[in-house]
């Protein structure tokens, strides 16, 4: 029997490496399916975008529409372990601005284990943790399991008025930080310019019934907005 050529031996992968790669590829595939499902079932007001650099890094934002945190816009990142979604492979969520909440640490990390002692891949998914993320901003009381920020928890019990003041501060901070985009983030916010304001006012004026709006009507508004902007630019030149 002839010996295996050296070049052929180099191309043969060990069964262990090959099996590990197949398992990781299967995890990656499951994650893409899970994210596809999330786009249709994400909690209202919560948005999540994948990073451009890693399959297991996401950037998100929650718009709080009512309650104590009303009008807050909290941006966050979510990191997943390489072994996600296996048993106890908890996601990690970190807010980019200060969040004064008993379930969020001073460093901005959401205490997911306060809601889930163990992470069960048959019951827990991305939508699960995002639902919990939203829930903490609508809680009216906090139990003893709220240990990420004990000072905030105790203040909510002993001095509700002062607690509300601290919450209002972090809400304002979130609004001020809206356009301060994190480096590498796929969730980018840009300030409106004059063109957007003109177009919005035209559409509000002309579109009384949203169900009757057509593509040609929108394009007409865009053209009129462009004409108004051009006219303003000409006036500034004189």
Contact partners, residue 90, CB within 8 Å, separation at least 6: 81, 112, 113, 116, 119
Same domain membership, residue 158 and residue 50: yes
pTM of the model: 0.72
Q: Looking at the domain assignment, is residue 171 inside a domain?
A: yes
- Domain for residue 140, yes or no? yes
Per-range mean pLDDT, top range of 39-53, 63-77, 188-202? 63-77
Does 160 lie in the same domain as 203?
no
Task: Determine which of 27-36, 74-83, 182-191 has the lowest per-residue pLDDT on average.
Answer: 182-191
Q: Which residue has the tokens 């296996």?
A: 86
What whole-number distance in Å separates Cα of residue 187 and Cα of residue 172?
A: 20
Give the residue numbers spanning the domain of 205. 194-237
pLDDT tens digits for 128-141?
A: 999 999 999 999 99
Q: What is the pLDDT of residue 146?
A: 96
Q: What is the pLDDT of residues 24-64, one digit of tens each?
A: 899 999 999 999 888 788 899 999 999 988 999 999 999 99
In this prediction, what percent of the chain has a pLDDT beyond 70? 88
Per the structure, the count of domains in the chain is 2
Same domain, residue pair 163 and 220: no
Residue 121 lies in a domain: yes
pLDDT over 50 at 1, yes or no: no
C-alpha distance from residue 7 to each of 15, 123, 235 (Å): 18, 47, 74
Q: Give the mean pLDDT of 148-176.
A: 96
In a domain, 29, yes or no: yes
Split at pLDDT 50, 70, 90, the class of 8 is very low
Instruction: Please report, to the nearest 10 degrees, the dihedral formed by the alpha carbons of residues 13, 14, 16, 21 taken in order.
Output: -10
* Residue 4, pLDDT above cutoff 70: no
Which of 148, 176, 204 is the C-terminal boundary of a domain? Answer: 176
Give the pLDDT score at 15. 52
The whole-angstrom separation of Cα 77 and Cα 61 is 8
Both 32 and 106 in one domain: the answer is yes
Q: What is the CATH number of the domain that holds 70?
A: 3.10.110.10
Q: Is pLDDT of 14 > 60?
A: no
* Phi, psi dihedrals of residue 145, rounded to the nearest 5°: -80, -5
20 and 122 housed in the same domain: yes
6 within some domain: no
Tokens of residue 206, six digits: 């002309």
Question: Within a domain: residue 166?
Answer: yes
Do 167 and 215 have their domain in common?
A: no
Residue 113 CB burial class (10 angstroms; 0-12, 13-18, ≥19): middle
Summary mean pLDDT of the chain: 86
* Domain assignment present for 79: yes
Section 176-201 average pLDDT:
75
């Amino acid at each position: 029997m002839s010996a295996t050529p050296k070049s052929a031996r180099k191309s043969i992968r060990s069964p262990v490496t090959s099996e590990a790669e197949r398992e990781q590829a299967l995890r990656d595939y499951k994650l893409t399916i899970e994210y596809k499902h999330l786009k249709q079932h994400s909690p209202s007001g919560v948005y999540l975008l994948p990073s451009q650099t890693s399959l297991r890094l996401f950037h998100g934002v929650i718009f709080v529409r009512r309650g104590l945190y009303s009008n807050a816009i909290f941006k966050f990142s979510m990191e997943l372990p390489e072994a996600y979604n296996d048993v106890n492979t908890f996601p990690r969520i970190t807010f980019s601005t200060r969040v004064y909440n008993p379930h969020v640490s001073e460093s901005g990390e959401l205490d997911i284990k306060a809601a889930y002692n163990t992470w069960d891949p048959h019951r827990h998914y991305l939508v699960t943790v995002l639902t919990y993320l939203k829930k903490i901003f609508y809680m009216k009381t906090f139990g003893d399991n709220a240990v990420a920020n004990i000072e905030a928890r105790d203040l909510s019990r002993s001095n509700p008025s002062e607690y509300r003041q601290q919450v209002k501060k972090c809400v304002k901070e979130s609004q001020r930080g809206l356009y301060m985009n994190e480096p590498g983030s796929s969730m980018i916010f840009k300030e409106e310019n004059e063109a957007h304001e003109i177009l919005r006012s035209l559409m509000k004026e002309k579109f009384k019934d949203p169900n009757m709006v057509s593509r040609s009507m929108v394009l007409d508004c865009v053209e009129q907005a462009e004409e108004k902007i051009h006219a303003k630019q000409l006036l500034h030149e004189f």
